[in-house]
Structure 1
Amino acid sequence: MEWTGARYADGPTVEVSGRIAASPERVWELVSDIGLMPVLSGELQSAGWLDGASGPAVGARFAGRSRHESLGEWETTSYVVACEAPRVFAWAVTDPEQPSALWRFTLAAREDGGTELTQWMRLGPGRSGLSYAIDRMPDKEERIVFVRLREFERSMTATVDAIRRLAEGTATADEVRA
């Protein structure tokens, strides 16, 4: 992937995919389980449904707590903006109209009975912690965005692989812990 010259206002994206030898229904159980996501992420520390929600549905909200060596610790509220089992699960971070980031899992059934899983994310257009780093060093914006997108790419690749291993039964949650 090439991100040279990407600016935050451009809404840069990252996408990773992987083939999983498990049904879309099995993969859906994993990608729609927000409680599992902190196990798979080195950055997301916890996630929990809000307002009495117990699972994904359009309009449901969840809180997430994250930590990053350079950005510190923070909490966000995310809004489920797409939920079509077992095909699409997407959420907007902070504000569904002007999200600081938009995240999406897409599942496609394969002819062999497996699943093609894609994880996608877009920065902005709303402000995020990255915006504050850019405010402090505007001359380094492209480099800041590039580094962050590379971090996301590595993390998302590891997440898709961990979901594959869990869905295929070749690893337990403790074995895939980030």
Structure 2
Amino acid sequence: MHDSVTVHMNATPSQVWAVVSDVTRIGEFSPETFEAKWVEPATGPAVGAEFRGHVKRNEKGPTYWTTSVVQVCEPDVEFTFGVVNGGKVINTWGYRLVEADGGTDVTEFFQLTETLPLKIYWALAGWARGKTNRNGMRRTLEAMRSVVEAEPAAN
């Protein structure tokens, strides 16, 4: 009920951080979440900040809004948030950045909360959803890589 994908980017951790922690840009990268916005009073990444994401499941639908709360916000290192349903985190998503080989290894990951309904779902359809998530994470990271590698590093 978890997985991750790592992509190397020829960019600094701070360049990558600027992209992964700006949820308002997710529509440029994600195949499923096509827009997101901070929930007031939040205006940017911070532990406890909330944002809403507009999702088109499997790129086909249904289309719905989710609310997420930032759980880890360590600049240039990790940005992690929990998707909330019924007042509880049901799924955690995040990005870990590690300086490597003159650039940054970026790992996107997810971890489903272990509840009985999610265990049943994962047992029945997990293979398909897992494949969709892996492909989506890779597509997201590759799209991010295209952007951060094209932008000049700030000095």
Instruction: State the TM-score bracket (shorter-chain normalisation).
Output: 0.7 to 0.9
Larger Rg: 1
Matched, 1:38 2:27: yes
Name which of 1, 4, 13 aligns with 2:2.
13
Query: Where do 4+ consecutive residues of structure 1 move more than 3 Å?
Result: 125-128
Partner in structure 2 of residue 173 of structure 1: none
Show structure 2 runs of 5+ residues with no match.
none
Matched, 1:168 2:149: yes
> Separation in 2 of the partners of 1:126 and 1:83?
26
| Cα distance per residue 1:12-45 (max 9 Å; x no partner) | 1110001111100001011111111122122112
Name which of 90, 93, 96 aligns with 1:100.
90
> Number of residues paired by the alignment?
149
* Greater strand share, structure number: 2
Q: Is the 8 A contact 1:16 1:119 kept in 2?
A: yes
Change (3 A) 1:73 1:54: same
Partner in structure 2 of residue 176 of structure 1: none
Identical amino acids, percent of aligned pairs: 29
SS at 1:41's partner residue? Answer: coil
SS at 1:36's partner residue? Answer: helix
Partner in structure 2 of residue 28 of structure 1: 17
SS at 1:125's partner residue? Answer: coil
The 5 Å alignment of 1:41-120 reads 41-68=30-57, 72-94=62-84, 98-110=88-100, 112-120=101-109
TM-score of the two chains, using structure 1 as the length reference:
0.75
Partner in structure 2 of residue 175 of structure 1: none
Change (3 A) 1:118 1:66: same
> Separation in 1 of the partners of 2:102 and 2:36?
31
SS at 1:105's partner residue? Answer: strand
Alpha-carbon shift at residue 98 of structure 1 (Å):
3.8
Alpha-carbon shift at residue 143 of structure 1 (Å):
4.0
Instruction: Report the residue type matching 1:154 in the other structure.
Output: N
Alpha-carbon shift at residue 87 of structure 1 (Å):
0.4
Matched, 1:144 2:134: no
Alpha-carbon shift at residue 124 of structure 1 (Å):
2.4
Instruction: Report the residue type matching 2:76 in the other structure.
Output: P
SS at 1:35's partner residue? Answer: helix
Alpha-carbon shift at residue 71 of structure 1 (Å):
5.4
TM-score of the two chains, using structure 2 as the length reference:
0.86
Alpha-carbon shift at residue 146 of structure 1 (Å):
1.2
